[in-house]
């Protein structure tokens, strides 16, 4: 899969993902486990939704 998540987008996804997972681990709501999605997409630099929508925040032409 081709990377479609740029560096700023990646940092935001990782921070939000870690924050939501930490909240879930500290007794937060069950839905906070959704943080796994932005964390994984940030680490892998690939967002399936971006692929479907034809988006790319990498700054390079694909």
Q: What is the domain partition of the chain in residue ranges?
A: 7-51
**Cα separations (Å) of 19 from 7, 22, 26, 35, 52?**
18, 5, 11, 7, 26
Which pTM does this prediction carry? 0.88
pLDDT, residue 19, reads 98
Model confidence pLDDT, tens digit, residues 16-60: 999 999 999 999 999 999 999 999 999 999 999 999 999 999 986
């Amino acid at each position: 899969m081709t990377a479609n998540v740029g560096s700023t987008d990646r940092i935001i996804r990782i921070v939000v993902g870690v924050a939501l997972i930490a909240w879930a681990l500290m007794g937060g709501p069950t839905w906070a486990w959704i943080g796994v999605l932005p964390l994984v997409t940030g680490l892998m630099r690939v967002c399936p939704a971006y692929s479907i929508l034809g988006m790319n925040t990498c700054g390079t032409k694909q």
